[in-house]
């Protein structure tokens, strides 16, 4: 009598337990993605805070490079206002391009290249970019794990049934992948 009851209980309880475990895993992965995006946001804000100081320092030496400064200021404002989206990624890529142009302008000003404040700001920017890259890798790793869970059978059935939506990777614009020559020494 106990054997049929145990079989029925296993047949009923195991699928229910699987659904619960899979659902909880998907929720945890989604929360990891949100947390990882928060880390990216923190590092991007750090970059946004450094930019005005960097621009002000360069401006003192290269006042006639007004176009570059205005573009960076405009892109910084756009990026700060944007939410996580494909457009934000595009804005971030444009901002990085503009910052690379700003650093290229520095090449024409030997006094600036040796300015202690500029060198400190430049080092902070490099450190911040490294931290953004690490946060982006962490975010994209979480997105990958979440996508795998949402797309692989049988967890894809549970993800679809409970409305778990796909997440996008935080991609880097191809021009940002090129390593600029940033030797100011």
Domain ranges of the chain: 14-177
What is the rounded radius of gyration, in angstroms, for the C-alpha atoms of the chain?
24
Question: pLDDT at residue 6 above 90?
Answer: no
Long-range contacts of 101-107 (CB under 8 A, 24+ apart): 101/68, 101/71, 102/54, 102/55, 102/58, 102/65, 102/68, 102/69, 102/72, 103/180, 103/182, 103/184, 104/180, 105/58, 105/62, 105/65, 105/68, 106/58, 106/62, 106/184
Please enumerate in sequence order all residues whose Cβ is within 8 A of that of 135, keeping only pairs 6 or more positions apart, or say none: 36, 39, 40, 42, 43
**pLDDT at res. 183:** 44
**Residue predicted with more confidence, 167 or 84:** 167
Tell me the whole-structure pTM to 2 decimals: 0.76
What fold does the segment set 14-177 form as a domain?
Answer: de novo design (two linked rop proteins) (1.20.1440)
DSSP state of 179: P
Model confidence over 116-170: pLDDT tens digits? 888 888 899 999 999 999 999 999 999 999 999 999 999 999 999 999 998 999 8
Q: Which of 32-36, 50-54, 62-66, 165-169 holds the top average pLDDT? A: 32-36
């Amino acid at each position: 009598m106990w054997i049929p009851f145990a079989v029925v209980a296993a047949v009923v309880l195991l699928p229910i337990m699987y659904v619960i475990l899979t659902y909880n895993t998907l929720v945890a992965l989604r929360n990891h993605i949100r947390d990882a995006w928060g880390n990216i946001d923190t590092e991007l804000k750090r970059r946004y805070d450094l930019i005005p100081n960097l621009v002000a320092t360069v401006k003192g030496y290269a006042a006639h490079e007004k176009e570059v400064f205005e573009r960076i200021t405009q892109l910084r404002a756009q990026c700060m206002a944007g939410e996580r989206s494909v457009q934000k990624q595009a804005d971030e890529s444009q901002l990085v391009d503009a910052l690379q142009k700003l650093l290229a302008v520095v090449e024409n000003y030997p006094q600036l290249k040796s300015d202690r404040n500029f060198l400190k700001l430049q080092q902070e920017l490099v450190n911040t970019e490294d931290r953004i890259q690490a946060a982006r890798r962490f975010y994209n790793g979480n997105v990958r794990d979440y996508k795998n869970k949402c797309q692989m059978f049988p967890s894809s059935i549970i993800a679809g049934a409970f409305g778990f939506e796909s997440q996008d990777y935080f991609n880097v614009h191809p021009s940002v992948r090129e390593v600029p020559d940033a030797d100011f020494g």
